[in-house]
Each structure stands twice: as C-alpha cells, then as structure tokens.
Structure 1
Amino acid sequence: MTHLTWVDVVVAAAVLVLLYLTLRVGQGTTVSFSTSQSAKVDTDPSQLPYDAARSLLRMFAALAASIVFTFLYAYAAAKSRRLERVLIPALDILQSVPVLGFLTVAVTGFIALFPGSLLGLECASIFAIFTSQAWNMTFGFYHSLTSLPRELDELSRSFRFTRWMRFWKVELPAGAIGLVWNGMMSFGGGWFFLVASEAISVNQKDYALPGVGSYAGAAIADGDLGKVGWAILTMAVMVIGVNFLFWRPLTAWAEKFKNEQSEASEVQRSYVLAFLRRSNWSRLLGRALRPVARALGRAGRIFGIDDRPLDVDPRRRRTGDIAFAVVAGGLILWGLLDLGGYLRERTGLGVFGEPLLLGLATLARVVVLVIVATVIWVPIGVKIGFSPKLTRIAQPLVQILASFPANFLFPLAVWFFLRTGLSIDIGGILLMALGAQWYILFNTIAGAMAIPTDLREAMDDLGVRGWQRWKRLILPGVFPAYVTGGITASGGAWNASIVSEVVTFGGTTLTATGLGAYIAQATADGDFPHLLAGVAVMSVYVVGLNRLVWRRLYRLADTRYAL
C-alpha cells in the first residue's frame, strides 16, 4: 500500500489552490454583457494581477483545445490517404487566414450563441488564440506520424497492438519532443496575438475583455509609456512563471522519449518535475485509470486490431478515389462560386486586383524574413539543442522574446522609425519577425534534441568535425523539424503582417504598403467584401508558396532524412 508523504500533501494543496483560483477567475467570464456596451478597460496598475489571471485562463483553454485538435486532425490526415489530400491543403488555408479574419466571424457567431453573456466574447477570444496555436502543433505532429521509424511501426504490428495502443505506446512518444517544443512555440504565438484577441475591433464596434492584452492596447492608444511598461513587466513575469512551472518540467520529461541506445551525459533538469516525481499521486492515478485503458484496448480490438491496408481490388480503390475527389472538388467549387457571386454583387470581381498587388509586397517581406531567420537561428538552435546546460539558460529567454506581442513594442518602433527615418515598409519586416522567426528556432531546437546521442558520439569517435559534421549529421537530423518550422514561420509571417504593417502609438500611425495593412483596414471598417478578398488572396499566396516550396521539402524530409 502506498503511503502519502508531505510531498503528496503539498502537491494536493497546490492542485486545490489552482482549481479554486480557476473557479474564482472563471466567474468573471459569465457576467451579463450587451453588444451596445462601449469598450472600457481599467488601466489602473493594481488591476494587472486579475488581468494576468484572465489572460492565462484563456491561453490554457486555447492550448487544451489545440492539443485535442492536433491529435484528431493530424491522426486523420496521417492515417487516411484520401483525407490527407483534403486536410493538409485545408490546413495550409487555415494557417493563412489571419486572426482578424477568424475574429470577424467568431465574434458574431459566439455572441449569438451566448446572448446577453460575456461568455460569448470570451469564447471568441479563446477561439482567436486557438487559431494562433493549433496549426503549428498540427503540422509538427502530422510530420512525426508520417515519419515514424519503420522498425517501431513493424514492432507494434508484430505485437498486434490495437490502434489505441499504437497511438499511446508508439506514435505519441515518437512525436513527444517535437509536440512539446511546438506547443511551447504555439503558446508564444498566442501571446503575440493577445492584444488583437482581447481588444477586438470588428465592424466598427470595439469590444474589450479584462486581460494584459487589452490593458496594453488601451495604454498604447493613450500614449501612456508608464502603463505600457507595467504591461511589459507583467508579461515578463507571466512568461517566466509559466516556463518554470509548466514548460520546463514538460521539456525535461520529454527527454525520456529520445530514440537512442546510449544515455546522454547531460540531461535537462527541472526542480518542479523532480519534486513531482517524489509524489505518489501519479502512481495512484495510474492505478485508478487502468480500467479506462483496458476499456480503450477492448474498444480498439472491437473496431480492428491491425490497421494495415486491406487487400482491396485496385479497380474498387480507384473508383473510390474518383468518387471522393468528385465530392470534395464539387464542394470546393460550390464554395468558390458562392464567394464569387457574393463579391460580384457587392463590389465586382475587380476587388481582387488591389490585394493581389499588395500581396507581392508582403510576399517579399516574408521571403526575406524566412531566409534571414534561417541563416541566424538554425546554428543557434542546434547549439541550444545539443547542450542541456545552455537549454536551461536559453529556454526562458527565448520564451520571453517569442511571447512579446509586436503591439507592446509599438512605442519604441514609432520612435525608432521616426528618429532614423526608416520606412515602415522595411521596418515592418522587423516587427513581423517578432511573431514568425521563433518557429524556426524552436523547431530547430526540437530537431537537435531529437538526434540520438549515440549518433553524436559516433561522430565524435570518428573525428568528424566542422562542415562535414553539419553535412553528415546535423543538417539531415534537424531538416524534418526545420521544414515544419519553416512552413509555420512562413504562415506566421503572413499572419503577423496584420499587426506589423500598421503601427499606432498615441496620435501617430505608420502604415506600410502590403496585404496585412489592407486586411487590418477592412476589418476595422467592417468592409466584408474587401476583407473576404484580402483573406482569399492571402490564402492563395500562402497555399501557393507551400505547394511550390514547403511541400516538396516535406517529401524530401520524409524520403531521405527521417531518422
């Protein structure tokens, strides 16, 4: 019999306090609300602890939804050849739709779903944060499923694992490191769009929710540098706290899933994880959940032990593929015709001309950003990923840098651009980089950490150094993870253009020439035809770039560089 210790008491008390605080803070999400209410944000610094708690609650709610979405969507795309042909291009499109594009629909829909309650606006804000987190995690987990080591796949089949057992025992552990680091990066992406998600301006109406993002937005609009400083300090404390209590333990725990034959001399450590491992609650919960695991295993056997492809007549398979393509293509064609009819009635199809030209300017910024970020951050990411000691130091710093919304730096950006005479058409690249470059860094770190220690030691024994080491081990080892980071960085850069091509502080507004500024203006004006045209054009650019560049690199990673 397991006896409870003082560590178990402390852990139980911490969980109860966390649940109590969640319930107390969550009470504020169900108060009455009317769409006629004007946006009011209390910018008293004493309000910041409560605002921080509300923001954290939204962020973790969105993260939970993103994890569920990742498992379901990525698994369906990886396991079904037909669904993959629809789901992956659809994910390209979803990634390309800016947060403001989702907000326009989400605010109206959720407010109608919860009339007279602030819960509708809260759900819209959580949904907006979800759209800034989910795509990166889904791309990463999908790639880990499609590049599963062949020997692990064959071993699970020889033991006749059910689908659930394969997922839980083989597929999820194989993608755990990438999933944790992509989750950390996606969480940072949620912070980046916090201002847009909490201080919502749609259809010439302003809505605001209590949170650090709306507080910072109000302080920036007022031109109050002191209160902007308080918001930045609060954000830094939140990021460091979440990193110490949540992400650091997860990254240290994920080390156990490395696919290697020798143990590394240095491993990541976490004081929180070490403390939790002294607790008996995990073992007690494991015993309590064993009946659930058995039930899932029995369900897997009912629905099929082996998921190897059946011996299907090629003619029947070809007929099924044609039928699936006809149905999917018909639905897409119907949607495009309906969109074209709507725009033809409102503005005419010439509305696409301006965003197509503006998209070229934003495309140039995206290409420059991805190239420069690759040159800078891949070597740094490899260095961090290979050194647990350096990871402990760099992880919180990178988290802070990746989590800061561009809006928080608008006062400094406006001052810098005006003082130096630097055009925002060029300076906008720097602001876009704040929300996009970190995808490359985080995925490179995850890829470097996943390289087996025995391969690195073999290179040391053979005396392989310098460029040969990069060519034979490092670049092939991190390439699959880099491709995931590159495709999400590219999509993130397009999304970040929404808040980076229009910079406002106090009474000064700087606007760049680009598609992001076009969509931001259409959203603020409630101009749905121009907003739809802008979002559609952005989707075309992103999907085209992914098809021409990133998908080819994905295939190369799967065929040549999967460990």
Structure 2
Amino acid sequence: MLPIRQNLPRRVVDTSINRWDLYLLPLVLAVLILAAYGARQMTGPFQLGTPLPITLDPWSLPYYLLRTTVRMFLALAASLLFACAFAAIAAKYRAAEKVLVPILDILQSILILGFLSITVTGFIALFPGNLLGVECAAVFAIFTSQAWNMVFSLYQSLKTVPGELREASDVFQLSGWQRFWRLELPFAMPGLLWNMMMSMSGGWFFVVASEAISVANQNIKLPGIGSYIATAIEMRDLGAIGWAIGAMLVGVVIYDQLFFRPLLAWADKFRFEESGGENAQSSWLLTWLRRTGRIQALGLTGIRLLASSFTLFRRDYDGTSIRARLRGRLAGLERVWDATLAALVLLSLWHLLAFIHTEVGWREAAHVVQLGFYTLLRVSLLIALAALIWVPVGIWIGMNPRWAHRLQAVAQFLAAFPANLMFPLAVMLIHRWNLNTEIWLSPLMVLGTQWYILFNVIAGASSIPVELRYAADNVGLRGWLRWRRYLLPAIFPSFVTGAITASGGSWNASIVAEYVTWGGTTLKAHGLGSYIAEMTATGDFPRIALGIGVMCLFVMSMNHFLWRRLYDMAQNRLHF
C-alpha cells in the first residue's frame, strides 16, 4: 500500500563512513564537477552577431554532450515543477480545470519554433552581452518539448487515484499538501518516471531546433549535439552524423544508469499492491547507495525537511465543521466562472471571424479547414496503427521486468533518435521509386511520437498489481477475453495519456513531414502541415496565423470530443 500514514517510523541509518561511501565518492564528485563545469560554460560573454564556432571533430563530442545534457536536465527539472503545480491545480479545482486543460491543449499544439520566435529576443534582452540569455532560450525550448506529456501523465494519475485511498486520506485527516506528498505523488510516481524518460527523449528529438536558433536574421548555434548535427546536415557529412548518433547512445546509457534506473527501482515501493517485489526493477547504483552511511544520511536529511513541512500545512478542522460546509457555496461562483468563460470564448470567436473576413477571406479559410481534415485523417490512422503495434509490445515489456531492465536504454535511444535524420533517406526512396507522397510521407509524422504510447503503456503494465495477475490466471482468462477483461482496462488510463500526447506531437510533426526538402528535391503532401510550411517559407504571416489557429482548433476539438471522453471513461470505469 502507499505511505499515507501521518507518522512513519524513522529509519535508523549508520552515518559513519564505510567502504561504499568511498566507492561512490569519486562518482559523486565527478558528476558534481561536470555539472558545475557545464553550467559555468553557459554564462560566458556573447554579442549578437558573433558566431560561436562549431567543429565536426569527434573529439569535441564529449564536451558537446555535456553541454546538451546539462540543458536537458535543467529543462527536465523545470518541467517537473511545472507538471506538479499545473496538474495538481487542474485535478483538484473544477473551475481551474475548465481553463487549464484547454490551455494545455493549445500549448502542446504550438510549434517549438513558435515558442522560440516569441521568447528568444526576450531572453537575450534579459542578459545583454551574456550567453546566458541564449542558453535560457534553448532550455525553454527543450522545456516545451518535455513538459506536456509529464503534465498529462500526472493529471491522469491524480484523477484516477483509487477511491479507497482517498477515503483513507480523509480518515487520517490529511491536508491538501499532505495528501499530495503522501498519497497522490507516490501513486503517480511509476507513470511519471516513465514519462520523464520520454521527456528526455523528446528533448533529444527537438535538440537540433533548440540549439541552432535563428533570430533577427542571425543564426546562433550553441555548442551541443544539436548544433553538431545541424552543421553535419548542412555539410552533408554522414560520418559526423554517425559520430553524433554514437555520442547520443553513450549519453542515454550514462543517464539511464545513473539517474532513471535508480529512480525506477526506488519507486517500486510505491506500487499499489499488497505483496511485493517479484516485478521490481534493480539498480546497482541504488544498491550501493543503500549500503552507504554518510551519503544516505544526506539524502534522508532532505526527506526530513520535507516531512517537517507537513506540520505547517496540516488541516486545522476535521472536515465536518462549518468551514468544511462552506464549499457548497462555491457552486454559485462556479456558475459565474462558467458564464465568464463562455463570454471569453464568444469574444475570441468574434475576433477570429473578423480576422478571417479582413485578412485572408472565407474561401481561404474553408480551404485550410479542408486541409486540416486531410491531416486529421493521417493522424488518426497513424495513432491507430501505432497503438496496434506498441500496446502489445508495451504490455509484454511492462509485465516482464527482466526484459524491461534490458530494453529500457534501447527504448530511450530509439525515442531520442532525431527523426529528421530519416527524412533524407525517405526523400531519396520516394523520389527514386516515384511513390505517392500522400501516403508515403505520412509515416514520418509518427516516427518521433509513437514512443509516447510505448512508454506510457509500459508504465501502466508495470504497475498492475501482482494480486490482479494471480486472479486473472486463477480464473483462467485466455485469448481475447484476457485482453478485454484484464489487460486493456489495466493499461487504459496510461494508454490515453500516451495517445493524447502522441496525437498532439503528430500534428506538430506534420509541418516537417508533409513538406520535406533534401538538397534540390522537395516533396509535398496535401495537408495542414504542408500549408503552414509553405506559408512560412514565403513569409505570409496572416496565413501562417490562420494555419496555426486552425491546427489549434483541430487539436482542441479532438482532445475535447475524443480524449476527454476517454479520460472520463478511464476515471470512472476502466482502471484498477
């Protein structure tokens, strides 16, 4: 069961230095020194217009890997804080949920290049004459590629906390702060960790766009793997691209062993089941840490500081007093809030209609909506095909911890592989064999987003209680009945989280997948993505705004009419 008790027994730890402390001390010092060195390199002098040298020498790759990894972990930390705040507010307050969830739909449908074009000049202005402004812009761009699936994962987990655990937290008189740390976050931890891994891989997917920045007709390439790949693509140096892929693989293996694998093994204690441990992951680093004295004492000090905050944010009434009954009066405020939201929607719709009438015309708007339906058809078919492939694979991996242990780094590397490196090969094959671009450009949309489904299904399958597996075996569930009654309901909430994120990512990927260029060859498929790409190339800003606005409407409509209904089904019917 989850740790929801108010007073937990304090673990006694021997704080004396032992041989395991001495074994781990060099590793800890090396990580701290490298992190400090990488952070120090982010604050050098810089003037806009001064090029930053990028070399394709393979011996520079360790330094570039360090710079990129520091940016990605800074973005991951910011994404985790944002996800906790955003998801907790959206899940706990109905009025806030009506605003925040649509905002999240809009944010995930905005291109990473759109975030860069809006924020990069502001960050540079905040730190004039310093490289830190451009570094903050790059970190923010990586943040926009990492945060949304973490928010969706945590939001889904908070909405599907089992009722008996909520009742237990009420019996123990837990405040909102205590409930989040004692119940909700531990319950969400396994799925959140797998989505953190997917977020790191998503950061690799967009690392070229985040480190090779264009602003004020200036190209800024920050030292990193992304800029290395961008330079190699410009020079058509396939050998350098191979070296970059090898460096990415080394980086994935290192932070998998030193960060994600210990966290997954540690989070196994939060599994919602009575018996334990046969599906637990293992980590050599976590085993060593548990044998240390002084290093483990430092970690427990931080945990005690967090536990001390529980006394500051405790519930000061028993849930039956007049203060508790005052919540019923909020119904009138919710109706006022709903009316305000409806007025804002009508006002936004009026401005949209006026923009179409004055700037682009109704015929153009109807054409763009038609293109949106073409892209919608592609996205729907690709998500369905990806689900048919990766749901069984994810369930098999999640329910076989030995294979999950072996394939974890492989899955991270495949998800981190920049799909744009596959575009030149696709262009050459389609052009060589004269294939139909309307069909054969479509798979490029899902190359980098299908992994959201895989990682979330693995998280859902790995968190299935052992008792439920025994029950399914004892009653003899086999074949399609086993899938329909047991496996699919067990992973359904996690699948919805992965599918909604993969869907939003596929809409974004359509802009580069429906309009592909390599050398002097350009291939185009009819769709909303190719329309936005063409208008961006010609600099037609009203039509760019029209295309992005229509894409936001399609994404929001799909989320509201499909994914939200599936969320409600997962919350009310299909979860354990």
Q: Does 1:430 align with 2:453?
A: no
SS of equivalent residue, structure 2 residue 220: strand
Structure 2: how far apart are the matches of 1:15 and 1:485? 34
Structure 2: how far apart are the matches of 1:525 and 1:110? 27
Shift of 1:38: 5.2
2:476 equivalent among 463, 477, 484? 463
Deviates more, 1:283-292 or 1:531-540: 283-292
For structure 2, which runs of at least 5 residues remain unmatched after alignment?
1-13
Letter in 2 for 1:17: A
SS of equivalent residue, structure 2 residue 523: strand
Q: Does 1:219 align with 2:232?
A: yes
Shift of 1:431: 1.7
Report if aligned partners of 1:504, 1:510 keep a CA contact under 8 Å in 2: yes
Shift of 1:337: 5.6
Report if aligned partners of 1:351, 1:533 keep a CA contact under 8 Å in 2: no
Match of 1:42 in 2: 55
- Report Cα offsets for 1:280-305 as digits up to 9, x if no partner: 34641355336633541232127777
Closer, same or farther: CA 481–313 of 1 in aligned 2, 3 Å: closer
Report if aligned partners of 1:204, 1:525 keep a CA contact under 8 Å in 2: no
Report if aligned partners of 1:104, 1:523 keep a CA contact under 8 Å in 2: no
Shift of 1:85: 0.9
Match of 1:64 in 2: 77
Closer, same or farther: CA 190–81 of 1 in aligned 2, 3 Å: same
Letter in 2 for 1:550: W
2:525 equivalent among 512, 526, 540? 512
What does 1:197-212 correspond to in 2, within 5 Å?
A: 197-201=210-214, 204-212=217-225
Closer, same or farther: CA 507–39 of 1 in aligned 2, 3 Å: farther
Deviates more, 1:526-535 or 1:542-551: 526-535
Match of 2:426 in 1: 413
Match of 2:467 in 1: 454
Shift of 1:111: 1.8
Match of 1:168 in 2: 181
Q: Does 1:481 align with 2:494?
A: yes
Letter in 1 for 2:324: L
Report if aligned partners of 2:16, 2:294 keep a CA contact under 8 Å in 1: no
- Report Cα offsets for 1:246-269 as digits up to 9, x if no partner: 222222222221111222434322
Match of 2:170 in 1: 157
Report if aligned partners of 1:202, 1:525 keep a CA contact under 8 Å in 2: no
Match of 1:310 in 2: 324
Report if aligned partners of 2:177, 2:314 keep a CA contact under 8 Å in 1: no
Match of 2:89 in 1: 76
Letter in 2 for 1:257: F
What does 1:336-355 correspond to in 2, within 5 Å?
A: 352-355=365-368
Letter in 1 for 2:187: A
2:293 equivalent among 274, 280, 298? 280
Structure 2: how far apart are the matches of 1:491 and 1:146? 21
Report if aligned partners of 1:236, 1:400 keep a CA contact under 8 Å in 2: yes
Shift of 1:558: 0.7
Letter in 2 for 1:408: L
Structure 2: how far apart are the matches of 1:42 and 1:223? 14
Report if aligned partners of 1:162, 1:304 keep a CA contact under 8 Å in 2: no
Match of 1:367 in 2: 380
Structure 2: how far apart are the matches of 1:439 and 1:33? 37
Paired residues in the alignment total 562
- Report Cα offsets for 1:144-197 as digits up to 9, x if no partner: 111111111111111112322211111111111110111111221111111111
- Report Cα offsets for 1:527-546 as digits up to 9, x if no partner: 54333222211110101111
Structure 2: how far apart are the matches of 1:411 and 1:305? 64
Letter in 2 for 1:310: A
Letter in 1 for 2:466: T
Structure 2: how far apart are the matches of 1:216 and 1:231? 7
SS of equivalent residue, structure 1 residue 201: strand
Structure 2: how far apart are the matches of 1:477 and 1:414? 40
Kindly report the root-mean-square deviation, in angstroms, between the aligned alpha carbons of the 2 structures.
2.6
1:555 equivalent among 537, 543, 568? 568
SS of equivalent residue, structure 1 residue 311: helix
Closer, same or farther: CA 165–280 of 1 in aligned 2, 3 Å: farther
Closer, same or farther: CA 21–142 of 1 in aligned 2, 3 Å: same
Structure 2: how far apart are the matches of 1:288 and 1:250? 18
For structure 1, which runs of at least 5 residues remain unmatched after alignment?
none
Shift of 1:235: 1.6
Closer, same or farther: CA 92–317 of 1 in aligned 2, 3 Å: same
Structure 1: how far apart are the matches of 2:64 and 2:216? 25
SS of equivalent residue, structure 1 residue 435: coil
Shift of 1:505: 3.4
Structure 1: how far apart are the matches of 2:269 and 2:164? 19
Match of 1:94 in 2: 107
Deviates more, 1:118-127 or 1:41-50: 41-50
Q: Does 1:390 align with 2:408?
A: no
Structure 2: how far apart are the matches of 1:332 and 1:280? 58
- Report Cα offsets for 1:199-231 as digits up to 9, x if no partner: 223565432211111211121122221111111
Q: Does 1:179 align with 2:216?
A: no
SS of equivalent residue, structure 2 residue 422: helix
Structure 2: how far apart are the matches of 1:190 and 1:304? 45
- Report Cα offsets for 1:492-537 as digits up to 9, x if no partner: 1112223323333344443333322333444556554333222211
Letter in 1 for 2:449: A
Letter in 2 for 1:371: A
- Report Cα offsets for 1:121-160 as digits up to 9, x if no partner: 2111111111111111111111111111111111111111
Report if aligned partners of 2:105, 2:555 keep a CA contact under 8 Å in 1: yes
What does 1:197-276 correspond to in 2, within 5 Å?
A: 197-201=210-214, 204-276=217-289
Structure 2: how far apart are the matches of 1:337 and 1:189? 36
Report if aligned partners of 2:371, 2:528 keep a CA contact under 8 Å in 1: yes
SS of equivalent residue, structure 1 residue 175: helix
SS of equivalent residue, structure 2 residue 441: helix
Percent identity between matched residues is 47
Match of 1:545 in 2: 558
Q: Does 1:104 align with 2:117?
A: yes
Report if aligned partners of 2:174, 2:315 keep a CA contact under 8 Å in 1: no
Shift of 1:462: 2.2
Match of 1:15 in 2: 28
Report if aligned partners of 1:406, 1:500 keep a CA contact under 8 Å in 2: no
Structure 1: how far apart are the matches of 2:33 and 2:487? 47
Letter in 1 for 2:477: V
Report if aligned partners of 1:162, 1:306 keep a CA contact under 8 Å in 2: no
SS of equivalent residue, structure 1 residue 434: coil
- Report Cα offsets for 1:373-426 as digits up to 9, x if no partner: 111111111111110111122222211111111122233223322233234432
Closer, same or farther: CA 155–4 of 1 in aligned 2, 3 Å: same
Report if aligned partners of 2:150, 2:196 keep a CA contact under 8 Å in 1: yes
- Report Cα offsets for 1:100-124 as digits up to 9, x if no partner: 2212112122122222222222111
